[in-house]
Amino acid sequence: MANVTAYAAPQAKAPLELTTVPRRPVGEHDVLIEIAYAGICHSDIHQVNEDWGTATFPMVPGHEIAGIVSEVGPGVTRYAVGDRVGVGCFVDSCRECVNCEAGEEQYCLGGMVGTYNGTGRDGGPTYGGYSTHIVVDENYVLGIPEGIGLDEAAPLLCAGITLYSPLKHWNAGPGKRVAIVGLGGLGHMGVKIAHALGAEVTVLSQSLAKQADGLKLGADHFHATGDPATFGKLAGSFDLIVNTVSANIDLNAYLGLLATDGTLVNVGAPEEPSPVAMFALIGGRKSLAGSMIGGIRETQEMLDFCAAHGLGAEIEVISGGQINEAYRRIQASDVRYRFVIDIATLNS
């Protein structure tokens, strides 16, 4: 056991502060990663605030981790010292259930082990990426290809795979009309990936404030949902809509934008239930769906895809001392499009 420097929330809703947390010794199949960058995901803030239920404190958030392997256990075969690697939203799972067997560990029936605010298979709490080092089983570590900077790669481990997985599952590609709702940390990766997959991409954003950005990121069209005329104008226009907004939206209005057989996939999680009128689904054989991150195999596929297409996240790099300010700015939607902590400056 070694203590490592980290930024942690000492209790629910409290500002994060510099501290140390224990990391387990490097086991047979473990990899020790010297973390270079950690992205700040909106769900980090939700978990610190206990918006999603009772949490464990102190909490070291961070599940968008990129770094370099600095030590490997004797049984490790997938990685070597010096490799560029990443860790996403989970660091273990039961490895035996039908979903783990299928490589969909994010849907592990026994419950995947969250990278932070989780309980490891050793019974101890897990601590995330706002820290200098992390120890992870090699089977839950991703390789980051040359060609993507570790800083712009970090957000791919959550934001990237959260969009890549549904876009692939619902066959976004040439001839498909895809709308991305919300142009934030998740949405901006959705635009980039859907465009690289060859789909016709539309951004549906509250206002036209980010229109120039959206088009530059690869969108073909950009519409303001704050303008009520938009929903009439675009009725029946999309094969696939991916909703990245974590506040409640009028699902019935968005279902009206789908073409026959279209699907509205939600990747954001509002705290309150959203009412759905069944007629909005029945008229047009439409589907309302959800999707959560992706499995290890698909996450690796996403990283390889992004490297091959020169895609990374649009980032603003900050120091450890700026984390609390970044939290405030994320809640005010004042970031284009992802904060990434430079771990070398964690204590400055």
| R_g of the chain, CA atoms, integer Å | 20
Query: Is the Cβ of residue 159 or residue 234 nearer to Zn ion in the bound state?
Result: 159
C-alpha span between 287 and 179 (Å, rounded): 15
Question: Closest separation between CB of residue 70 and Zn ion, Å?
Answer: 25
Question: Closest separation between CB of residue 105 and Zn ion, Å?
Answer: 6
Question: Closest separation between CB of residue 39 and Zn ion, Å?
Answer: 8
Grouping H, G, I as helix, E, B as strand and the rest as coil, residue 219 is: coil
Give DSSP secondary structure letters for 264-303: EEE-S--SS-----HHHHHTTT-EEEE--S--HHHHHHHH
Structure-token pair, residue 20: 């140390």
Question: Closest separation between CB of residue 158 and Zn ion, Å?
Answer: 3
Exposure of 319 by Cβ count < 10 A (0-12 exposed, 13-18 middle, 19+ buried)? middle
Question: Closest separation between CB of residue 178 and Zn ion, Å?
Answer: 21
Question: Closest separation between CB of residue 95 and Zn ion, Å?
Answer: 6
Which residue, among 229, 227, 233, 225, has the nearest Cα to 251 in the 3D structure? 225
Query: Is the Cβ of residue 128 or residue 262 nearer to Zn ion in the bound state?
Result: 128
Query: Is the Cβ of residue 42 or residue 286 nearer to Zn ion in the bound state?
Result: 42
Interface residues toward Zn ion, by CB under 5 A: 41, 43, 93-94, 97, 100, 108, 110, 158
Structure-token pair, residue 11: 């209790």
Question: Closest separation between CB of residue 46 and Zn ion, Å?
Answer: 9
Query: Is the Cβ of residue 36 or residue 189 nearer to Zn ion in the bound state?
Result: 189
Question: Closest separation between CB of residue 9 and Zn ion, Å?
Answer: 16
User: For the range 212-218, what are the long-range contacts, defined as Cβ-Cβ under 8 Å and sequence gap of 24 or more?
Assistant: 213/183, 213/188, 213/336, 214/183, 217/183, 217/188, 217/191, 217/192, 217/314, 218/191, 218/192, 218/194
C-alpha span between 131 and 207 (Å, rounded): 37
Query: Is the Cβ of residue 72 or residue 186 nearer to Zn ion in the bound state?
Result: 186
Query: Is the Cβ of residue 41 or residue 251 nearer to Zn ion in the bound state?
Result: 41
Residue written as token pair 């039908």: 98
Contacts of 166 (CB under 8 A, 6+ apart): 242, 265, 267, 289, 291
Query: Is the Cβ of residue 199 or residue 303 nearer to Zn ion in the bound state?
Result: 303
The interaxial angle of helices 296-308 and 185-196, nearest 10 deg, is 70
Which helix (H) or strand (E) segment is 253 a member of?
Answer: helix 251-255
Query: Is the Cβ of residue 41 or residue 85 nearer to Zn ion in the bound state?
Result: 41
Query: Is the Cβ of residue 103 or residue 198 nearer to Zn ion in the bound state?
Result: 103
Question: Closest separation between CB of residue 347 and Zn ion, Å?
Answer: 24
Grouping H, G, I as helix, E, B as strand and the rest as coil, residue 200 is: strand
Q: How far is CA 343 from CA 28, 42, 137, 211, in A?
A: 27, 19, 21, 32
